[in-house]
Structure 1
Amino acid sequence: MAETKREIERKYEATARTELPDLTRATGVASVEDRGVAELDAVYYDTPGLRLAADSVTLRRRTGGGDEGWHLKFPVAAGVRDEIRAPLSKSLPTSLAALIRSRTRTEDIVPVVRLRSSRAVRHLVDADGGLLAEVAVDTVHAERLPKGPKTSWTEIEVEVADDADPEILDAVEKRLKKAGISPSTAASKVAKALAETGEPAPETAHATDGPPSDGDTAGGRVLAYVRKQIEAIVALDPAVRRDLPDSVHQMRVACRRLRSAFKSYRKVLDRTVTDPVGDELKWLAGELGHARDQEVLHARLLGRIEAIPDTLLLGPVRGRLRIWDTARSEDARRTALTALDSDRHLALLAALDALLADPPLRKAAHDDAERVLARAVLKDYDRLATRVDHALALRPGHDRDLATHEARKAAKRARYAAEAARPGLGKPAKRFAKKVKAVQSLLGDHQDSVVARDALRELGIQAHAAGESAFTWGLLHGQEEADGADRERELPGVWAPASDPELRAPLTS
């Protein structure tokens, strides 16, 4: 079974003659313990085109040392990576293969580099005997596979111990720099090996020669935004599989932003190409949405329950909510993972790559960005205004609930259009997006209350059928009705700043 470890480390240049300074002089270090030398043998795997290395993802099979096995590392921040480990086996474990699927697609996974290292290890310990960090001096011999060039070097690696304060890295670095030891310029051992034994990894796994490089054109601006969303979808795929916090939400947002950009900027991108891709993005967002919607709904209902007095909790309310949520959450997660494992998802990723490689640019793509982008944002505003006016004209009830939901979707599209246009339109687009986001948030809260009422009715029916009191579920249903009514009353006040002509004036000039 795979396990995850957060790795926080820094690397430094060294030679065979480099000597470590006295690290007991580093703040917090009481002693340095020599842990001997370990012989490590690691083979790094990638696609022939180095798609993993291009995204700073590393996959290796290592023998020797205390953690031999398969290691898959994802970048988190500078000097921080998540390492997912699996037991040593001859072939790549399926659990790790799934995590790199969005990047490797159907390509072969082949050995690209072999690193054999002699690792001299020292432990930095505090006054209480607690481990602060591990300092390793690595003598590395690298070979490009198969039967490629070889290189070797020495480096120093300082890694924070589990649960230790990362500030120890600053204290150690201060001592190393005073000894003339400089930070490494290589992001990782495998990156250095690739660079010194042949072709290094490309700068990005999704780079193409297709998009125009001129950021001042409408096409340049829109494609930069499109590329950002595509890269987010690819990067968030393994995060969703690992069930990381907010990953489903962020991946669904990237799908929606991309689909929205296709719609808003039809003057820039040919819809005969983007519409089919947008349909597939809608499918993926929908499959991911079950998990996210259930997460939001459960948090809302649980918050309602926690807020009412215990005297009004009649029956096993918390237990019924927990059972109901567990079943729905498990189903939703299975749905999301099934979608990510499907050939349909791979086909969508391939279509997105193709779109970047050969962008379906229309004539307006070559025009000045400000004028084209502003027109698209204003067109989406007009769409939003029509839907808000329609919702406000209706009497409270089912039809108005549907109309406010449609207005919410229009607000989201207008906001995304403004966010995409912000690099070209600057502060006016930022201010517009902020006001529209307030409308979207209010309408979103209203929609959440509508969905919550349906769930509470279902829970009430289940409780009644089981011979339990349905009083609490009815009480919560009433609270949600009142909350929805409050949002409807607030809508005109929130809409007024977003519909102020002065807000749009800079976009029309």
Structure 2
Amino acid sequence: MNEMVATSHLETELKYEVRADIKLPVTLSGADSETEIERVGGSTETGLKHHSSSVYELAAHYYDTPQRELAKNGIALRLRSGGADEGWHLKRRVDARTQHETTWPYEEELPAGVSATVDEIISEASTRLEIIAAIKTTRTVHRISDSTGRIVAEICDDQVSTVDNSTGIKRVWREWEAELVETETGEVSEHLLKTLDGLLIEAGATPSLADSKIARAVGALLPGALKKSAPPATIAALTLLETADILQAESPGDPRIDRIRTIIERVRNMRG
């Protein structure tokens, strides 16, 4: 077998909770692709416009050791099919909004390069890997371009369905992601992030309680918050989030789901 070449990049993204009834602003979704995207609260020119949209069906298996050593070290490993970047992805958390991602071309067996990279971080961990969750995502990608026509960001509207392999528990939710396209210099445009964040919040989204799909898929959010002695409002919100995700998987269309998600938004604003 020929050694597959790995590529690496920094992934900067913001994640959002979003109810089923909320729609993206028309200038982001492409419903109005001629109007320039404006900042919230003013008509300051941004030079940003909707460029194009695509829909992808993504299917991923996530891997970790039985002791969840990768997760404990801030690492996520998956094999994903579908989309423009299918293959093996190893993500390492840099900060709250940035991850370092290394990718290898798609292959059903664990590539030697992936094994070596995992073992460099955790000795012989590659020999203990198992599938911990399956995640399917229907992703609608809206690409945003600047005044020169260069694509600078992507807004992803994700319908997510997961199965926790250790418990069999299924979870379903919807989320938005605003991801910057990496520049040659690697610089992050704070103005661009602020513009997109303002538009999505104004549309009804709230910052996500989960920094990754896999943590949410295996029910790790609430235990993690408890371990960190998170504020009571955060604990309450995560408890409700878990309830809503499982209910949406068990009873799609149940009117209680959006009511619970609305309550979550209110609970998060509580003090204490």
Q: What is the TM-score of this pair, normalised by structure 2?
A: 0.69
Equivalences for residues 25-44 of structure 1 within 5 A: 25-26=38-39, 28-44=46-62
Secondary structure at the residue paired with 1:96? helix
Task: Report what 2:245 is aligned to.
Answer: none
For the structure 1 residues 148 and 44, does the alpha-carbon distance in structure 2 shift closer, same or farther, using more than 3 Å as the test? Answer: same
* Equivalent AA in structure 2 for residue 40 of structure 1: L
**Does 1:189 pair with 2:208?**
no
What is the CA distance between 1:15 and its match in structure 2? 2.2
* Equivalent AA in structure 2 for residue 93 of structure 1: P
Structure (1 or 2) with the greater strand fraction? 2
**Does 1:171 pair with 2:195?**
yes
| Aligned mates of 1:133, 1:61 — CA distance in 2 | 24
* Equivalent AA in structure 2 for residue 4 of structure 1: S
| Aligned mates of 1:51, 1:33 — CA distance in 2 | 41
Task: Report what 1:98 is aligned to.
Answer: 116
Task: Report what 1:117 is aligned to.
Answer: 137
For the structure 1 residues 197 and 171, does the alpha-carbon distance in structure 2 shift closer, same or farther, using more than 3 Å as the test? Answer: closer
**Alignment length, in residue pairs?**
204
Q: Give 1 or 2 for the bigger CA radius of gyration.
A: 1
| Aligned mates of 1:113, 1:166 — CA distance in 2 | 34
| Aligned mates of 2:48, 2:131 — CA distance in 1 | 42
**Does 1:69 pair with 2:69?**
no
| Aligned mates of 2:132, 2:220 — CA distance in 1 | 13
What is the CA distance between 1:104 and its match in structure 2? 5.6
Q: What is the TM-score of this pair, normalised by structure 1?
A: 0.38
| Aligned mates of 1:201, 1:72 — CA distance in 2 | 24
What is the CA distance between 1:203 and its match in structure 2? 6.3
What is the CA distance between 1:46 and its match in structure 2? 0.3
Structure (1 or 2) with the greater helix fraction? 1
What is the CA distance between 1:165 and its match in structure 2? 4.1
> Which deviates more, 8-17 or 133-142?
8-17
| Aligned mates of 1:2, 1:103 — CA distance in 2 | 19
Task: Report what 1:360 is aligned to.
Answer: none
For the structure 1 residues 56 and 152, does the alpha-carbon distance in structure 2 shift closer, same or farther, using more than 3 Å as the test? Answer: same
**Native 8 Å contact 2:161 2:173 kept in 1:** yes
For the structure 1 residues 203 and 40, does the alpha-carbon distance in structure 2 shift closer, same or farther, using more than 3 Å as the test? Answer: farther
Per-residue CA distance 1:377-402 (angstroms, 9 max, x = gap): xxxxxxxxxxxxxxxxxxxxxxxxxx
Structure 1 residues not aligned, in runs of 5+ = 205-509
Secondary structure at the residue paired with 1:100? helix
Identity %: 33
Task: Report what 1:156 is aligned to.
Answer: 176
For the structure 1 residues 155 and 48, does the alpha-carbon distance in structure 2 shift closer, same or farther, using more than 3 Å as the test? Answer: same
Task: Report what 2:14 is aligned to.
Answer: 10
What is the CA distance between 1:33 and its match in structure 2? 2.9
What is the CA distance between 1:103 and its match in structure 2? 2.4
Per-residue CA distance 1:345-392 (angstroms, 9 max, x = gap): xxxxxxxxxxxxxxxxxxxxxxxxxxxxxxxxxxxxxxxxxxxxxxxx
| Aligned mates of 1:42, 1:158 — CA distance in 2 | 20
| Aligned mates of 1:197, 1:9 — CA distance in 2 | 19
| Aligned mates of 1:66, 1:174 — CA distance in 2 | 28
What is the CA distance between 1:198 and its match in structure 2? 10
Secondary structure at the residue paired with 1:95? helix
| Aligned mates of 1:12, 1:56 — CA distance in 2 | 20
* Equivalent AA in structure 1 for residue 19 of structure 2: T
Task: Report what 1:82 is aligned to.
Answer: 100
Task: Report what 1:134 is aligned to.
Answer: 154
For the structure 1 residues 184 and 203, does the alpha-carbon distance in structure 2 shift closer, same or farther, using more than 3 Å as the test? Answer: same
What is the CA distance between 1:75 and its match in structure 2? 1.3
**Native 8 Å contact 2:22 2:204 kept in 1:** no
For the structure 1 residues 146 and 13, does the alpha-carbon distance in structure 2 shift closer, same or farther, using more than 3 Å as the test? Answer: same
**Native 8 Å contact 2:210 2:221 kept in 1:** no
* Equivalent AA in structure 2 for residue 158 of structure 1: A
* Equivalent AA in structure 2 for residue 12 of structure 1: Y
**Native 8 Å contact 1:121 1:135 kept in 2:** yes
| Aligned mates of 1:148, 1:104 — CA distance in 2 | 29
**Native 8 Å contact 1:6 1:82 kept in 2:** yes
> Which deviates more, 10-19 or 141-150?
141-150
**Native 8 Å contact 2:61 2:79 kept in 1:** yes
Runs of 4+ in 1 over 3 A off after TM superposition: 104-107, 196-204
| Aligned mates of 1:186, 1:46 — CA distance in 2 | 19
Task: Report what 2:241 is aligned to.
Answer: none
**Native 8 Å contact 2:22 2:203 kept in 1:** no
| Aligned mates of 1:80, 1:40 — CA distance in 2 | 21
**Native 8 Å contact 1:32 1:125 kept in 2:** yes
| Aligned mates of 1:39, 1:142 — CA distance in 2 | 14
What is the CA distance between 1:180 and its match in structure 2? 2.6
The structure whose RCO (Cα within 8 Å, separation 6+) is larger is 2
For the structure 1 residues 184 and 156, does the alpha-carbon distance in structure 2 shift closer, same or farther, using more than 3 Å as the test? Answer: same
